[in-house]
Amino acid sequence: MPRRWTLIMITTLFALTAASGCGAGAKQIAAREMDKYSMKSAREGNLRQRNSGVTLNGPFLKTLKEECRKRGITLTHETYSEGFEGNLSYSYFINGSAKDYVIVHIYPSEQERTRQIPELYRGKGQNKALEQEETTVISERGKTALVYTSSRTDKSNYSYEIKAAFEQALDRMTR
């Protein structure tokens, strides 16, 4: 009788252990499925791609930084933001100064860029003289717009070199 009781106890213990293990596994699977439907997995994947530089944006941004560095300009304080319509914006201070900065806008399509950039930087065609004082759009090509902005009264500090770096980076990436 004690042997039978021991066997029943061991079998019961094994069954409970297996059942609790399966329950935890099922909970993990359900949680992963919920993440898929709530787009959490997609957002995390996009973040991993941006951080590791495996998207097409990563090599372009690296090229831009290299072109600036060749001209004695260091892009610092990188920030990233996503727009509601799928556009991405990367911002950098120039040589660590918040007075001069670069914004790289990347849009889902060229049509989207040509629609949004004028709204952002040209005020839909009104007051062009005022707009050029506040912001200078340096280069636009394809889905990309590169913007140099300065709060200084004399923007010529970096204008020429930044424009050359932008054009060279765009040329290298479109070959």
- Assigned domain for 60 exists: yes
Q: In sequence order, what DSSP letters do the residues of 66-105 get, joined into one string? A: HHHHHTT--EEEEEEEE-TTS-EEEEEEETTEEEEEEEEE
* pLDDT value of residue 84: 81
* pLDDT value of residue 119: 80
Tokens at 84, concatenated? 């509601």
- Assigned domain for 101 exists: yes
8 Å CB contact between 107 and 86: yes
- Assigned domain for 159 exists: yes
pLDDT digits (tens, 9 = 90+) for 22-58: 665 667 776 776 665 555 655 666 666 555 444 567 8
**Overall size of the chain counted in residues:** 175
pLDDT digits (tens, 9 = 90+) for 91-146: 999 998 888 889 999 888 889 988 888 888 766 554 444 445 555 767 888 888 88
Answer yes or no: do 142 and 73 share one domain.
Answer: yes
